Amino acid sequence: MNTIFLFASLLSFLLIGMPIAISLGLSSILTILLFQNDSLASLSLKFFQTTEQFTLLAIPFFILAGNFLTTGGVAKRMINFAISAVGHLPGGLAIASVLACMLFAAVSGSSPATVVAIGSIVIAGMVRVGYTQAFATGVIVNAGTLGILIPPSIVMVVYAAATESSVGRLFIAGVIPGLLLGLGLMVAIYIAARIKKLPRQPKVPWRERLALFREALWGLLLIFIVMGGIYGGVFTPTEAAAVAAVYAFVAAVFIYRDLKITDVPQVLLDSGRVSVMLMFIICNAFLFGHVLTTAQIPQDIARLITDAQLSPWHFLLIVNIILLVAGNFMDPTAIVLITAPILFPTAMQLGIDPIHLGIVYVVNMEIGLVTPPVGLNLFVASGITGMPLMQVVRAALPWLMVLLSFLILITYVPIISTFLPDLLFGSAIK
């Protein structure tokens, strides 16, 4: 009965438009008061214990780093370098936009930030040289999702905190899938460009390419500082996030000088707003997870699946269906925090690699960012271009097929996700 009440109350609160954080917290408190013996004091203790997780400290730092890079001129220089590298191919400007999204994803950790930083520059540029606005917007909406797949990734940090997995292993696991998905989008654009005879840019001489690479180098160095520092044992992923924030500040204010020192307080304020919002959701979601665990819900579900003798193949199919449906209505952070405590124990019983499951989660969250009614990338792109939301949805749909095909591949070919972590650290399954 308490399980039914917990989920029914959560769904009811969401349907009446209550914010996700309040819905999670209020449904948890009501369930505790009506059906369980826990005191409100233990509930408040759990709420504040969540904020003490060292791993979660990475989130505000990565948000701050992304805001410095977005506000500064780092994205513009990455775009110029990407265009010089692949702009001469059929559909080259669109392919360069995907490459720029991949590069920016490797320093920002956020999909909406990637869409804003790259889309606000390249969509207008593509329209100017002959692409339709729908084509340009559709490409950026989907390529922007690479912000949470190519490390560092805020969603990976949240998944690691929820499942007590290794952030470092998750980050390195996202490298090959991120490169493959980016390449898949580029191939799809190339094929479409050949069919539609889309324009290509003049070939840039190697000397000019090298000059543009040097201009973008300070931004690109952040990739090697963060990833090299983590895997070289210099600092933890959380410390890497702090280093990234400081480096992004120095690069934007003192090296590129695109950001005035007087603009820094506004960047800090914007980052603080987003961080507080995310952390409030996370704290309430951990509260929700505590109620789930107390009610033995994950254990009951694991027992049901075990009794039904589901194979890992079937279980992963169920996971994808649950996450794809949830992605239509909820924020990625909330989805991970609500579903991971339920699905993760069963996955471990079935012998599924926790890192593989994490990448499956992230790819599902990518798709959720481009599916209505709550797809955040759709709203961001609509704000940038001025297009009505439904036009953005239609523009994104053809490229969404690439993401769905990739989800099938990443789900049932686990070595794509596990090869690099296993090579560097050994298998996660003991």
Confidence of residue 429 (pLDDT cuts 50, 70, 90): low
User: Which has more pLDDT, 427 or 212?
Assistant: 212
Q: Using the Cα atoms of residue 11, residue 13, residue 15 and residue 21 in order, give the sign of their dihedral.
A: negative
The Cα-based distances of 209 to 85, 95, 121, 223, 331 in angstroms read: 7, 16, 19, 20, 39
Which two tokens mark 133? Answer: 């606005």
Contact 196, 126 (CB under 8 A): no
User: Which has more pLDDT, 46 or 167?
Assistant: 167
Which two tokens mark 146? Answer: 């690479």
Q: Which pLDDT belongs to residue 430?
A: 46
Mean pLDDT (whole number) for 107-111:
83
Mean pLDDT (whole number) for 122-131:
89
For 65-79, 90-104, 242-256, 382-396, which range has the lowest pLDDT when averaged over its residues?
Answer: 65-79
Q: How do residues 273-311 score in pLDDT, each as one tens digit?
A: 888 888 888 888 778 877 777 777 766 766 777 677 778
User: Which has more pLDDT, 75 or 430?
Assistant: 75
Which two tokens mark 281? Answer: 């959701």
Q: Which pLDDT belongs to residue 186?
A: 96
- Chain centre to alpha carbon of residue 239: 20
Average per-residue pLDDT in the chain?
86
Name the H helices within 295-388: 297-307, 312-327, 332-349, 354-368, 376-385
Q: Which pLDDT belongs to residue 95?
A: 94
Q: Which pLDDT belongs to residue 277?
A: 82
Q: How do residues 238-256 score in pLDDT, each as one tens digit?
A: 888 899 899 989 988 888 8
Q: How do residues 26-41 score in pLDDT, each as one tens digit?
A: 888 888 888 877 767 7
Rounded to whole angstroms, how far apart are CA atoms 184 and 145? 13
Contact 203, 88 (CB under 8 A): yes
Mean pLDDT (whole number) for 319-334:
85
Confidence of residue 411 (pLDDT cuts 50, 70, 90): very high
Confidence of residue 191 (pLDDT cuts 50, 70, 90): very high
Chain position carrying tokens 């989805």: 335
The ranges assigned to domains in the chain are 38-425
Contact 66, 109 (CB under 8 A): yes
Q: How do residues 258-273 score in pLDDT, each as one tens digit?
A: 888 988 999 999 888 8
Total-model pTM: 0.85
Q: Which pLDDT belongs to residue 227?
A: 82
Rounded to whole angstroms, how far apart are CA atoms 17 and 34? 23
* DSSP code for 123: H
Residue 320 pLDDT > 80, yes or no? yes
Rounded to whole angstroms, how far apart are CA atoms 386 and 395? 13
Contact 345, 304 (CB under 8 A): no
Other beta carbons within 10 angstroms of residue 87's beta carbon come to 23
Helices 154-163, 332-349: crossing angle, 10 deg rounding: 40
* DSSP code for 202: P
Mean pLDDT (whole number) for 368-382:
86
User: Which has more pLDDT, 379 or 36?
Assistant: 379
Class of residue 325 by CB neighbours under 10 A (exposed 0-12, middle 13-18, buried 19+): middle
User: Which has more pLDDT, 109 or 144?
Assistant: 144
